Amino acid sequence: MKIYWFLGHEQFQPEVLVEHARLAERHGFDGVAVSDHFHPWVDDVGAAGFVWSSLGAMAQATQTLELLTAVVTPLWHVHPAVVAQAAATVDRLSGGRFGLGVGTGRSEGALGYPFPGYAERAARMEEALQIMRPLLDGERVDFDGTFYQTQGAKLYSPPAHRVPVYMSAAGPKSAALAARTTDGLILSVKGIDDVIRQVVEPARAEAKQAGRKAPGIVASQWTVRGHDDNELWEALKPWRGLRAPNRDAEIDPAKLREAADQLPREQVLSQYRRVETAADYLAVYGELARRLQPDILGVQTTSVDQPATIELVGREVLPELRAQAAAFK
């Protein structure tokens, strides 16, 4: 089991994230999972750097740290073939340390794109994967789909290694699509039992029926670190819009902020696991590792002092998580 640190473009400016990537490598993390959105979740303390530029900088700023998008949406503002080109470039710049995580996304209405229902988004994703996977494997791709077309497309700066592709899945339909078309699932876990029943088991059944091996698992869970409600809320400010109603379809982060701030703070805080000490982190992520036995365990956490939290988790949590993972084998 590898352990990744989460880097949120919605919380920090890209130059800060590059420094956090350096710290994650220094403190023993195997990799980083990097988010991508055109807009943040709130407008007052949010950020929204361009993931591909940040990844290029991280590739050059680190030596061994693996890089994973968690996740990009290859459906609207960037053509799937261009996403494959960007992925291949980052893989070359990092010496073969890149993994592509994709998802059906939230609204890109700020760029003039509609946000259709899940059926269309899934259909778009299936076409996008039919373009990206063969391109990343070195093939020339002619594709004439309902949503995307290519004519003789080929990557002339191919990746340095086989780039794994993972897909975010939150229910049985997306789990089945991921199992048929990708290397594995990206799971943002709220309840472990629900994820096993609604995502992991349907994905494994679909893979078996398709004659494919069981999908890999990238699993993370949100935690917020602080010693009291005020510190927890301060740490959570850039992410409070994530729990606002209609979050995926809303264009304006100001409206998400307003909606979130109309909710009781306790209601928002209750949707995140609260942590403070290394023992708290071990309780959350140890259970996640034990129950799901993921290939990649993501520590997705926010605090008022991320460098100190990276150091704490690296020094006191990672060794115990690795020891527990070794015992699973």
Question: Residue 258: what pLDDT?
Answer: 95
Residue 89 in this model has a pLDDT that exceeds 80: yes
Q: Whole-angstrom Cα distance, residue 52 to residue 87?
A: 8
Find residue 105's DSSP bridge partners: none
pLDDT of the residue at 328 = 76
Q: Give per-residue pLDDT as tens, 294-318.
A: 999 999 999 999 999 999 999 999 9
Residues 6+ apart with CB under 8 A from 178: 166, 167, 169, 184, 185, 203, 215
CA 217 to chain centre: 12
Give the pLDDT score at 165. 98
Beta-strand relationship, 216-225 and 141-144 = unpaired
Angle at 224 between CA 10 and CA 295, to 5 degrees: 80
pLDDT for 108: 86
Computed over its alpha carbons, how large is the radius of gyration of the chain? 19
290 in Cβ contact with 284 (< 8 Å): no
The verdict on pTM exceeding 0.95 is: yes
Place of tokens 């039919």: 130
Answer yes or no: is pLDDT of 107 > 80.
no
So what's the pLDDT on residue 327?
84
Three-state DSSP class for 33? strand
User: Nearest-5° angle of CA 282, CA 223, CA 179?
Assistant: 90
Helix, strand, coil distribution of the chain in percent, nearest 5:
45, 20, 35
pLDDT reading at 42 higher than 80: yes
- The predicted-structure confidence for 117-155, as pLDDT tens digits, reads as follows 999 999 999 999 999 999 999 999 999 999 999 999 999
| Structural domains of the chain ordered from first start | 2-328 (3.20.20.30)
Output the average pLDDT for the chain: 96
pLDDT score of 325:
87
Out of 179-183, 274-278, 324-328, least confident range: 324-328
Q: What is the DSSP letter of 199?
A: I
Average pLDDT over residues 17-46: 97
Is the predicted pLDDT of residue 105 greater than 90, yes or no? Answer: no
Q: What is the rounded (10 degree) CA torsion for 220, 200, 125, 4? A: 20
Q: What pLDDT band is residue 38 in, cutting at 50, 70 and 90? A: very high
% of the chain beyond a pLDDT of 70: 100
Q: Which secondary-structure segment (H or E) carries 219? A: strand 216-225
pLDDT digits (tens, 9 = 90+) for 273-283: 999 999 999 99
Distance in angstroms (rounded) separating the CA atoms of residues 198 and 271: 19
